[in-house]
Structure 1
Amino acid sequence: MQVNSIGAAVGASPLAFAGFPVSSWAFALRVWLAMLLALYAGFWLELESPSSAALTVAVLTLPTRGQGLEKAGYRLLATAIGVAASIAITGLFSQTGALLLAVLGIWVGLCVYVAGMLDGNRAYAAALGCITVALIAIEQIDSPLQVFPTGIARGAAIGIGVLAVALVNELLAAPDYHPVLASRLEALHRRVTEFARGAIRGDVSSTPAAADLLHDIAALRPEIASLSTESSIGTARTAAARSAMVDLVDELALARAFAALPAAVATAQDDPGCGQSSLIAICRAQLRSEIIRRNSDVRGNLGALRAGTQPLRQWRAPLYRSRRIAAEGAFRAAIHFVLIAIVFDLAGWPSTELCLTLAAAIIALSSTTPDPRGFTRLAAFAMPVACLLGGILKYLVFNGVSEFQLLAIGLAPVVIGMALLITLPSRTLSSLGRLILVFMLAVLAPSNPQSYDPEVFLVTCLFCQLAALLAFAAQLLLPSLSSERRIQLLLAAARRELRRLDFGHARHPAPEEAAFRDATQIEQIMSAGGSSVAGQQVVAEAMHCFDQAAALRRCHTELERLAAGALSEAAGAARAALTSRNGHTILAAAEALQRAAPQAHVSCDPILAALVRASTAFGCQQPLTGSSQERRP
């Protein structure tokens, strides 16, 4: 039996060539063909900058069709906004000198702020708005009348690049993303189901394991939007995948609440004033049935995802947004750009527009990553490699030729090699491959006819490397928001929101959707450095806040159903007990409600279970870090 399983595993392994699977080679071939198609169309249409079309292909190099089309749509939208902003900025401030650079710095900060409030390709679109203004307004800073035609030319080149990618992906049958996403969600479903089974069996609940699950679930949120662009039923698949994620988070929260109940049983037995064992039994039965129901909902949503049908119930998947983190990142990015601009202004070097443009692009793109300094360091490393590859292609491979066939053959090894690097699972190597490909095309700047002036090429390489180094130096002088600072702000926000979680407002999001929003907050904490020892303590406390907030929201939802009935007085007492955030007081309110229910002939098992869950979440356990006054809301 063991031999058969090994043989099956070997037989299931994908075909590979030179260490890369066939799917990676097919992806690299699509990238190369799309780039050639974009360049050929740019040459044929005699665009001002046909290399922008090739750069668009390099940026849109994503393994599946839906991901590429979604990013292409955001790229077109951001380009249109950037062109309009470039015209407005240069039209108002073209003759103001230093004020123009200050306004450009403010625009950089604004784009970085918007990127910090979004995720996925929407954040990329915000960063691209900054890059578009840099490529148009800054490069034409001495000739403002050329801003409009330059913007139109850039928009045309990007449109050609998008069409080339879409056509090649369609003709070569680029794979869809929904099977991959469905498999990942099914794997997460198995992990959550096993976690819930362990909780019901009475196994010790692992907070790090639960946090890892929340991280992995919430990390899929940016990728789900790409399903809408794959086909006519992509919107239904997006809704199904989103609902599956929300249900997975809620199932995990229910399992954690169930796992915390055994301690409450012991408390109820040891201290009669703390509650009755019947309440614990009601809570256990209610949570078990809710876990089973939620698990069934996840299976139904995954089935709808595979079939491309609408789920029975659609959930929103809100994203946690920290305005404080976004504002601090925007302020630092604006200062970084202004510092680099001051350096060039004081140096008085000619033709520094390219350097300032590239520095703005690096600053903007680094803002979309969890580690901006790490991205800038990677860009500083990729730039000389890209310049070297560009020089080899221009002066050793092409060597003065202008035939398109030779251009296609010469680009093949570098483009295919970098595309293969992009497919690697390592995030660092994948990012490095993409950066080298983009920078190489920017330095090489394929045109018709091709320029072979060595002086221009050397100056371009010098300024490109200087831009990356100055961007990194600016981040050293005024460091970007550190992981520790980001974690502190996120945890402080979690505590603050828990303190403000009252029940005086009539409008609240659904508890399931609010729990998913909290899960995205935990995902951000872990992405910022939750794997360290100090980070693990923060994650544990964030999970504690997650459990308490989920319990309070569930109580609020259940109490609203009793507000106008015969148990309105007992429900009001329970609501007042919840504001105390004391487990004994909440459990006493549950006992009072249990005694009043038979007289009113009303079944209130769901609210009793919710109150017991809240009493456990706000029990007598000590906070994980710090003093009780500091940690307990």
Structure 2
Amino acid sequence: MPGRAFFLMQAPLAMMSRLRVAAGSIFPPGWWSFTLRIWAALVLALLVAFWAQIDSPASAAVTVMLLAQPLRGQALSKAFYRVVGTLVGGVVALCLVSMFGQERQLLLGGCAVWMAICAYAGTLRRGFRAYGAVLSGYVVALIAISHIDAPQNAFDVTVARVSTVMIGVAAIATVALLSGTPHVWQRLVRSLQKTAAEVRHETRLALDDTVPTLSPLETIALSSTVFALTHQVHDTRTELTRSRLRAKGAQVCLIGMVTALSCCRSLLALMRQATIAPAVLALTRFDIHAPSGTDRETILADLLGRLPPEAPRLTLADAWRLERTASLIASRHISRKGLNTLLKAAPLGQVKTMSRFAFHPDRIAALVNAIRVLLCFSAAAALFIGSGLPNAATALSQCAMLLCLGITQPNSAAFGRGILIGTPLGILTAGLTSFFILPHVNTMMGMAIVMLFQVMFSCLLIINPATAAAGSHYGAFFFVFLGLNNHHDYNLLAFVDRNTFYLCAAGITAFFLILFLPPRPRRTRFRITLSIARELERQFAARSPSFTPALLSRKYDRLHQLYMLSQTISQEKKGKAAWRVCQRFISLADLTTALARLELDLKTARQYTELAPLADTMQRSLTRMKLFSLADHLPLMAEKMLSRAPASSGPAHVAAVLCAAGLEEVRFLLQQNGSALRHYGIGRRRW
């Protein structure tokens, strides 16, 4: 009986716990405050639009809903690029109308080409810069095409369009600044501090060979988590004083962490493949007494000076271990310095060059997206304009807007499915609101209460990742479907006629987004791996850029994308082949950076007279010798360089050890990837 009573008491508690978990998944933390902020901005925008008698107050509401972001920096950054994109698109629309106002075909062709150019640029950009690029494309359609039969009104339409956008932007910015909206930079700092603690823990384990640590693939997973924070860095510029310096500090912190994890991978490989001298292990096993500074050469000189005099001569594995340890410690110092700059705007000093980010440009995907926009818009124009119906131009402009927004999405098919769900839902809700609720609303207060429930449902959809695509479309275009105006029209036939075209535009756009050349994870992975192979080819031919932060950031961006794509493919195929491909190309990317770093170290060694002849010989061998002969010849070259180290002066000694370590790392990676080089045909000219 006592046990049964205890069970009966625990059952309601367990049910309440399950209900709380379910409610947390449906109503995420911060949902209610996010809803109230967007509702306040929406009401403010409508008040100003109605007071100013703007021709289309619904556009101000659409702007607010399109700028709905949970964090202040995100909302302000997106608002800035919406203003820039609207102004650029308005100017281009006026130019096209002034040149081709009497020629429909040329006007439509000019709009299609401009939209394709904007889609190309938007695919190459990241974050809200991409949004600004595609926005300038579809604004041309909204101005030029929707009034294709009345080109004389283009200037008035442009002014009205810009006015409504400015009203919406001002409303969202006012609420964001006055309502205590959470900051992007605070979330970024918390994420960086949490990730930095994980990286610091793993680097300590990597230095201690007696403790099991992460596998190479798990270090890439952590690197991917680090690099995923880059999209938040740019948004912090709208929140902070001295924002440019602080954003650079965040970038330096990210580069430092992913470089430290790269050193961990090398140390793990070295631990499995070679035997390290006990004196070197004792010196590098713990970094509690790591020397201060962020310079790899200074730290390595300090480590070499701490070796006991009775220690045996360094082996190649010892040199590699010392160099990777020095790089790891330097990377951690760089990461801490970058985080300190983000928090306190402290000067970056010598590590300022580490903030020069470069992302991987997928120009093939950009070209494909431009072609998709060009062909899809042309087909939709032939269908709508060819029909000759009154609202066809408006539907075509809606189709153009959805095409530009959807095609540049990483998963345009999911965006298309969101359109298929959001459009009918928005039209249905707009019909119920227009004919059953608004006739009983006579004041702005009543309108605000009605809009509150609409915004609650929209924000609930937007803030949940599974329904974000449908929610963003439903929430933004509800006011377009409603036809909200200064004098609301309750004509049922006009409502049905208008929204029939919007429904057709949504269906046609979704068809193109889902079925016409949608991005596939395997195709994108192929392009990423091809870019890694080409970078390695250029390195073999001595035509690759030198070892710079831009080269590093581009590499880590590729590896981040490769890891995420491999994760998606493995979930679809439920196999391990995707992870094997991922590991292979991670190793090839490491070979590229190892060659670039070795080239930089040899260039430094040529500055010393005792090392210059040998460094020149090694550089010629690296660029001319057959690859698989080079793998056998590298240990001899490394031993020669290492033999020069004890007889050299302090800086030359360090340079000799760095070159020997680099040669040993390149030798190891060449032997490890020999089968991959043959299989993929990389460096064929030097076989």
Q: Same fold (TM over 0.5)?
A: yes
CA contact (8 A) 1:358 1:467 kept: yes
Residue 521 of structure 2 is aligned with which of 483, 492, 496? 483
What corresponds to 1:606 in structure 2?
658
Distance 1:527 1:251, change over 3 A: same
Q: How big is the shift at 1:333?
A: 1.9
Matched, 1:617 2:624: no
Q: Secondary structure at the match of 1:309?
A: coil
CA-to-aligned-CA distance 1:545-600 (integer Å, 9 cap, x gap): 22112211211221121223311221122223333544333332211212234455
What corresponds to 1:239 in structure 2?
248
What corresponds to 1:495 in structure 2?
533
What corresponds to 2:166 in structure 1?
159
State the distance in 1 between where 2:437 and 2:398 align.
26
Q: Secondary structure at the match of 1:501?
A: helix
Residue 71 of structure 2 is aligned with which of 47, 53, 64? 64
What corresponds to 2:584 in structure 1?
541
Matched, 1:408 2:458: no
State the distance in 2 between where 1:300 and 1:375 align.
40
Q: How big is the shift at 1:107?
A: 1.4
Residue 555 of structure 1 is aligned with which of 595, 598, 601? 598
Aligned identity (percent) is: 25
Residue 269 of structure 2 is aligned with which of 260, 266, 274? 260
Deviates most, 130-139 or 259-268 = 259-268
What corresponds to 2:117 in structure 1?
110
Deviates most, 182-191 or 449-458 = 182-191
Matched, 1:280 2:331: no
Matched, 1:630 2:681: yes
Q: How big is the shift at 1:264?
A: 4.2
State the distance in 1 between where 2:208 and 2:681 align.
34
CA contact (8 A) 1:239 1:310 kept: no
What corresponds to 1:3 in structure 2?
none
State the distance in 1 between where 2:35 and 2:345 align.
29
Q: How big is the shift at 1:72?
A: 0.8
State the distance in 1 between where 2:402 and 2:477 align.
11
Deviates most, 581-590 or 460-469 = 581-590
State the distance in 2 between where 1:449 and 1:438 align.
21
- Counterpart of 1:304, as a letter, is T
Correspondence 1:76-475 to 2 at 5 A:
76-202=83-209, 203=212, 206-265=215-274, 278-312=315-349, 313-314=351-352, 315-399=355-439, 401-424=441-464, 427-475=465-513
- Counterpart of 1:531, as a letter, is T
- Counterpart of 1:178, as a letter, is W
Unmatched segments (≥5 aa) in structure 1? 1-9, 269-275
State the distance in 2 between where 1:89 and 1:257 align.
57
CA contact (8 A) 1:280 1:612 kept: yes
State the distance in 2 between where 1:532 and 1:407 align.
48
CA contact (8 A) 1:257 1:547 kept: no
Distance 1:628 1:504, change over 3 A: closer
CA contact (8 A) 1:199 1:255 kept: yes
Distance 1:161 1:340, change over 3 A: same
Q: Which has the larger radius of gyration?
A: 2
CA-to-aligned-CA distance 1:218-255 (integer Å, 9 cap, x gap): 22222211111103233332121111111112111111
State the distance in 2 between where 1:326 and 1:320 align.
12
CA-to-aligned-CA distance 1:147-178 (integer Å, 9 cap, x gap): 11111111111111111111112221212111
Superposition TM-score, scaled by structure 1 size? 0.90
State the distance in 2 between where 1:538 and 1:205 align.
19
CA contact (8 A) 1:318 1:517 kept: yes
State the distance in 1 between where 2:482 and 2:188 align.
37
State the distance in 1 between where 2:540 and 2:674 align.
23
Q: How big is the shift at 1:605?
A: 1.7
Unmatched segments (≥5 aa) in structure 2? 1-16, 278-312, 571-576
State the distance in 1 between where 2:221 and 2:567 align.
10
Q: How big is the shift at 1:503?
A: 7.7
What corresponds to 1:7 in structure 2?
none
Q: Secondary structure at the match of 1:565?
A: coil
- Counterpart of 1:229, as a letter, is T
State the distance in 2 between where 1:105 and 1:475 align.
16
CA-to-aligned-CA distance 1:358-397 (integer Å, 9 cap, x gap): 2111111113321112211211211111111111211121
State the distance in 2 between where 1:502 and 1:19 align.
53
Q: How big is the shift at 1:446?
A: 2.2
Q: How big is the shift at 1:130?
A: 1.4
What corresponds to 1:568 in structure 2?
612
Deviates most, 551-560 or 601-610 = 601-610
CA contact (8 A) 1:38 1:160 kept: yes
Superposition TM-score, scaled by structure 2 size? 0.83
Q: How big is the shift at 1:110?
A: 0.7
Distance 1:61 1:308, change over 3 A: farther
What is the alpha-carbon root mean square deviation over aligned residues? Answer: 2.7
Deviates most, 480-489 or 174-183 = 480-489
Q: Secondary structure at the match of 2:505?
A: helix
What corresponds to 2:635 in structure 1?
587
CA-to-aligned-CA distance 1:486-514 (integer Å, 9 cap, x gap): 22122112101110025856x94553431
Q: How big is the shift at 1:623?
A: 4.1
State the distance in 2 between where 1:38 and 1:503 align.
59
State the distance in 1 between where 2:565 and 2:388 align.
39
Q: How big is the shift at 1:205?
A: 5.6
- Counterpart of 2:260, as a letter, is E
CA-to-aligned-CA distance 1:239-279 (integer Å, 9 cap, x gap): 211111111121111111222213542699xxxxxxx9711
- Counterpart of 2:605, as a letter, is L
CA contact (8 A) 1:279 1:609 kept: yes
CA contact (8 A) 1:250 1:516 kept: no
